[in-house]
């Protein structure tokens, strides 16, 4: 029997949970307590959940965030989103073939309208991620009554998916702490304040002209909230790409991947290929390797990756091919992804004929940027409801920036409510700008001249906001300019007559794993180098031969591992010690984890680009839309009427940017495009809830 669950992880605790039986298409399968239907299916090796009613195309997971309906299945006879619905013992799951039928209602049932819950609060916060939590804490400290709603089963937003240590400022935003732990810290702090109500598994549906906000409370009932001020901290959604095969099961975003791997502890793929070299794609690749998944390669259309160099360097050291100035041509396969075809691009980002390469893989991860989820903020402003946006809903940046953005918005709202008389400290805005900044200048690598004693080598060569290394050195030998923590760290050989003690704390706590320790004390010709390692301890043992690499992933030498150790407070980072010739010791930055993966001989010919799916929900192709644009149509509403593009369950969240891109490709100025209006609801809701009826299996049984 297939079992793709993770039973060990180098960072995440894996609790033993009981297995129970459920059924898919009559097959008896095993699920683990706490899994969604989607994760249970993936754990059993099932990636195709249903078939599209329009053309029978296979459907699988896409957003894993409840924002689309790609993963729709029948659970005990009712259509549900498998990424959001929890699996239950004995549940009978079936694929949806064709359109689902409306459930039959017992004509003798006593159906009646119930009272809709209405609530008035000072502040309604949409989103329980880093920005929403931080804002709520600032408001609660000043006695403001708040309601925080979040559509997930726990608080933290994307923090709960992030196993890596965060960058930024130790003092301001928990830099050096793992995202999963920051989520717990913020939640624990917020729950100290009784004046903050928290509704989990509750989705904001719409902002109305009467300044009320509709909320699907706990997924079961409809409620109306009247806030004095609305704070939108709903994060971001992933952008998509249009290419042949983009609709195949196995093509999805980094958020979906991290949800399956880091939240649900399911291994959804054996061979992963990543499109996009921003921080999201680079970090997802690292998370894949930690879960024992082979990363076949990563392509980035720009000449250099857009993410932090230290993230890129981690992947390169571990053996992941990173191909810049490349793009994806197609995902290939019959009913799911079997391979991917890429090509080099020219200075106009067009594929260069003859440079195509095809790699075997079963998943293509799309990480090409994020768009703010700011619809509620824009509607609130339109209807005159005082509103603020924070975090990615305001501006796409790192989670550390979202934490600080939330703190600032919290103080600003408190001031507007009259419970805070002061000003937001001017230094906060400067800190926020620094935390939001993109990667800066990259410098050539340099090494200490010293060839004796023990000292760190800092392989951090790019200006990024980060300072944990300066905070953890007990002798303060590493300094980062606290006026601008984007500047590179500086190492001093000695202070107050004391030099490096070899305590290894800087090696362990650097978020970028960009510090090694070189020790000449035992052997001047073959010094010992200490390397940070965040993988299962048992995969490398003393005596094993490893390929030692430099910061770019180039092999320097093969040598044996002297020891594998942990230091006090290591926070799950272990240390490898190797001895190497002194000529290369300072260059050592890591060890190679996976062997090189070559392209496959068979060349897939991409389908013509017009066949690329633009609207996944209604399966509308680029060719259908491009034809209408060339006929002179500039109104997306008209395109929607003719093709049904944008009429599916996701509410045009995915296809709208792609339609705009088609207009740009056809040379149509943005000023000529008429966009479709943003209407309620944000997600699909059973009609009965607006009559005050509850949802859930118990309520369904009563209504039959």
Q: Averaged over 346-352, what is the pLDDT? A: 94
Using pLDDT thresholds of 50, 70 and 90, give the confidence band for residue 661.
confident
Q: Would the pLDDT of 84 be above 70?
A: yes
Q: 692 or 447, which is more confident? A: 447
Mean pLDDT, the chain, integer: 93
CA distance linking residue 167 with residue 478, whole number of Å: 16
Fold of domain 240-368: FAD/NAD(P)-binding domain (3.50.50)
Q: How do residues 488-539 score in pLDDT, each as one tens digit?
A: 999 999 999 999 999 999 999 999 999 999 999 999 999 999 999 999 999 9
**What DSSP letter does each residue of 365-420 carry, written as one string?**
EE---EEE--HHHHHHHHTT--EEE-GGGTS---HHHHHHHHHHHHHHHHHHHTS-
Q: Would the pLDDT of 46 be above 70?
A: yes
- First vs last Cα of the chain: how many Å apart? 37
Using pLDDT thresholds of 50, 70 and 90, give the confidence band for residue 67.
confident
Helices 179-190/130-141 angle, 10° precision: 30
Would the CATH topology of 117-236+372-436 be identical to that of 240-368? yes
The number of C-alpha atoms within 13 Å of 187 and in the hemisphere containing its C-beta is 19
Q: Averaged over 564-568, what is the pLDDT? A: 91
Long-range contacts of 630-635 (CB under 8 A, 24+ apart): 630/666, 634/663, 634/668, 634/672, 634/673, 634/674, 635/673, 635/674
358: phi > 0 → left, psi -120 to 50 → alpha, else beta; which?
A: beta
Q: So what's the pLDDT on residue 605?
A: 46
Q: 666 or 361, which is more confident? A: 361
CA distance linking residue 203 with residue 591, whole number of Å: 45
Q: How do residues 94-146 score in pLDDT, each as one tens digit?
A: 998 887 677 677 777 777 788 899 999 999 999 999 999 999 999 999 999 99
Question: Where is average pLDDT lowest: 107-116, 298-307, 530-539, 658-667?
Answer: 107-116
Question: Where is average pLDDT lowest: 369-378, 401-410, 591-600?
Answer: 591-600
| Sequence-ordered list of residues with C-beta below 8 angstroms from that of 45, at least 6 positions apart, any chain | 2, 4
| Sequence-ordered list of residues with C-beta below 8 angstroms from that of 619, at least 6 positions apart, any chain | 52, 54, 55, 57, 247, 613
Question: Where is average pLDDT lowest: 291-295, 512-516, 629-633?
Answer: 629-633
The CATH number of the structural domain formed by 609-672 is 1.10.10.1100
Q: Would the pLDDT of 596 be above 80?
A: no
| Sequence-ordered list of residues with C-beta below 8 angstroms from that of 476, at least 6 positions apart, any chain | 470, 495
CA distance linking residue 38 with residue 41, whole number of Å: 5
Using pLDDT thresholds of 50, 70 and 90, give the confidence band for residue 602.
low
Q: Would the pLDDT of 703 be above 80?
A: no
Q: So what's the pLDDT on residue 606?
A: 47
Long-range contacts of 657-666 (CB under 8 A, 24+ apart): 657/239, 657/240, 657/371, 658/240, 658/241, 658/242, 658/614, 658/622, 659/614, 659/625, 661/242, 662/242, 662/614, 662/622, 662/625, 662/626, 662/629, 663/629, 663/634, 665/626, 666/626, 666/629, 666/630
Q: So what's the pLDDT on residue 240?
A: 92
Using pLDDT thresholds of 50, 70 and 90, give the confidence band for residue 601.
low
DSSP state of 130: H
Q: So what's the pLDDT on residue 704?
A: 46
Q: Would the pLDDT of 608 be above 50?
A: no
pTM here?
0.90
Q: Would the pLDDT of 696 be above 80?
A: no
DSSP state of 700: H
Return phi, psi of residue 691, to 5°: -95, 5
Spell out the domain ranges in the chain. Answer: 1-103, 117-236+372-436, 240-368, 454-591, 609-672
Q: Averaged over 321-346, what is the pLDDT? A: 96
To the question of domain 1-103 being in CATH 3.40.50.2300, the answer is: no
Q: Averaged over 276-302, what is the pLDDT? A: 98
Q: So what's the pLDDT on residue 691?
A: 79
Using pLDDT thresholds of 50, 70 and 90, give the confidence band for residue 280.
very high
Q: Would the pLDDT of 603 be above 70?
A: no
Separation in Å, CA 613 to CA 248, 608, 657? 10, 11, 13
Q: Would the pLDDT of 1 be above 80?
A: no
Give me the residues paired with residue 81 across strands: 72
CATH classification number, 117-236+372-436, choose in 3.30.300.20, 3.50.50.60, 1.10.8.60, 3.30.70.260: 3.50.50.60
Using pLDDT thresholds of 50, 70 and 90, give the confidence band for residue 681.
confident
Q: Averaged over 366-395, what is the pLDDT? A: 97
């Amino acid at each position: 029997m297939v079992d793709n669950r993770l039973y060990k992880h180098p960072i995440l605790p894996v609790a033993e949970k009981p297995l129970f039986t459920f059924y898919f298409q009559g097959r008896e399968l095993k699920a683990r307590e706490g899994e969604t239907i989607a994760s249970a299916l993936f754990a059993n090796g099932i990636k195709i959940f249903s078939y599209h009613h329009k053309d029978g195309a296979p459907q699988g997971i896409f957003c894993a965030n409840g924002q689309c309906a790609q993963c729709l299945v029948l659970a005990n006879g009712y259509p549900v989103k498998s990424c959001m619905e929890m699996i239950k013992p004995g549940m009978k799951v079936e694929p949806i073939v064709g359109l689902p039928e409306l459930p039959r209602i017992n004509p003798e049932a006593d159906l009646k309208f119930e009272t809709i819950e209405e609530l008035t609060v000072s502040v309604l916060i949409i989103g329980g991620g880093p920005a929403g939590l931080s804002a709520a804490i600032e408001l609660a400290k000043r006695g403001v009554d708040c309601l925080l709603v979040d559509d997930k089963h726990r608080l933290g937003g994307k923090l709960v998916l992030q196993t890596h240590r965060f960058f930024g400022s130790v003092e301001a935003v928990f830099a050096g702490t793992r995202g999963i732990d920051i989520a717990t810290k913020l939640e624990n702090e917020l729950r100290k304040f009784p004046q903050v109500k928290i509704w989990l598994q509750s989705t904001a549906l719409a902002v109305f002209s009467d300044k009320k906000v509709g909320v699907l409370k706990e997924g079961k009932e409809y409620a109306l909230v009247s806030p004095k001020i609305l704070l939108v901290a709903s994060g971001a959604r992933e952008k998509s790409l249009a290419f042949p095969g983009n609709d195949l099961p196995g093509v999805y975003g980094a958020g979906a991947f991290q949800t399956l791997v880091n939240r649900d502890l399911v291994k959804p793929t054996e061979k992963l290929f990543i499109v996009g070299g921003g921080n999201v794609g680079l970090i997802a690749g690292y998370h894949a390797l930690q879960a024992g998944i082979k990363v076949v390669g990563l392509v980035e259309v720009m000449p250099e990756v857009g993410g932090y160099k230290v993230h890129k360097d981690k992947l390169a050291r571990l053996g992941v091919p990173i191909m810049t100035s490349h793009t994806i041509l197609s995902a290939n396969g019959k009913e799911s992804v079997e391979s991917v075809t890429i090509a080099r691009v020219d200075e106009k980002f067009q594929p260069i004929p003859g440079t195509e390469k095809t790699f075997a893989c079963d998943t293509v991860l799309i990480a090409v940027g994020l768009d703010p989820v700011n619809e509620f903020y824009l509607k609130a402003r339109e209807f005159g409801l005082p509103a603020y946006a924070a975090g990615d809903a305001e501006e796409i940046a790192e989670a550390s920036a979202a934490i600080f953005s939330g703190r600032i918005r919290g103080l600003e709202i408190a001031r507007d409510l009259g419970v805070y008389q002061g000003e937001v400290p001017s230094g906060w805005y400067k800190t926020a700008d620094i935390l939001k900044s993109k990667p800066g200048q990259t410098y050539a690598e340099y090494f200490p001249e010293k060839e004796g004693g023990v000292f760190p080598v800092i392989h951090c060569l790019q200006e990024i906001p980060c300072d944990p290394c300066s905070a953890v050195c007990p002798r303060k030998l590493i300094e980062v300019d606290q006026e601008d923590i984007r500047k590179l760290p500086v190492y001093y050989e000695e202070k107050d007559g004391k030099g490096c003690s070899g305590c290894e704390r800087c090696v362990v706590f650097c978020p970028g794993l960009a510090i090694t320790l070189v020790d000449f004390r035992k052997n001047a010709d073959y010094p010992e180098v200490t390397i940070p390692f965040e993988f299962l301890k048992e995969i490398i043992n003393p005596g094993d031969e490893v390929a030692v690499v430099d910061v770019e992933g180039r092999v320097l030498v093969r040598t044996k591992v002297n020891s594998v150790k942990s230091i006090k407070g290591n926070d799950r980072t272990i240390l490898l010690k190797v001895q190497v010739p002194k000529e290369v010791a300072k260059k050592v930055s890591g060890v190679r984890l996976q062997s090189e993966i070559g392209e496959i001989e068979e060349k897939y010919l991409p389908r013509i680009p017009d066949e690329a799916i633009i609207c996944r929900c209604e399966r509308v192709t680029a060719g259908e839309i491009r034809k209408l644009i060339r006929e002179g149509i500039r109104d997306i509403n008209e395109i929607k009427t003719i093709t049904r593009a944008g009429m599916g369950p996701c509410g045009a969240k995915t296809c709208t940017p792609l339609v705009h891109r088609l207009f740009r490709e056809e040379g149509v100025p943005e000023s000529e495009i008429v966009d479709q209006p943003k209407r309620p609801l944000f997600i699909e809701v059973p009609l009965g809830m607006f009559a005050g009826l509850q949802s859930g299996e118990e309520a369904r049984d009563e209504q039959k």
